[in-house]
Structure 1
């Protein structure tokens, strides 16, 4: 079901190259939210989706590197801790047989 309504308008002056424009989305919207982009010659339409709070945001390569380093560091620390416990004889759990 399509609904009609009034469109709010915001203008942004963009320079040559890559530009980022952030728009605040209404939390009350139940359906699709869309924007129109007017270049002066062509009118584009784009459907916008709400980002999940858990996995939102545009991620960069530095974010992926930080996540990889954090994961590797936590696995390394846990492995070293288990080896030290085993060597000192404080690990009383039976050995697993696969």
Structure 2
């Protein structure tokens, strides 16, 4: 049985979001075919983290060290940078989300 690579995990995540690898590369500012190289090589930690943040998974998941696909974070955690589709959610939007979750208060 073939080993599942970092690229395979990224491809699976992209497919779930209806995106192609080319779309993901463009969204992340990577050059064309950059992610395809990860079929046979280990990515740098900063690029791996960027992809993990984009898909809201851990780097350990991408590396195959963790089978849990999603990671969680608490909106009350002031040290966490929250993103949506690879872009940081503005502070004022986070505050609005918190108010909604509190019942509009």
TM-score (norm: length of structure 2):
0.24
Q: Which has the higher helix share?
A: 2
Larger radius of gyration: 1
Higher strand fraction: Structure 1 or Structure 2? 1
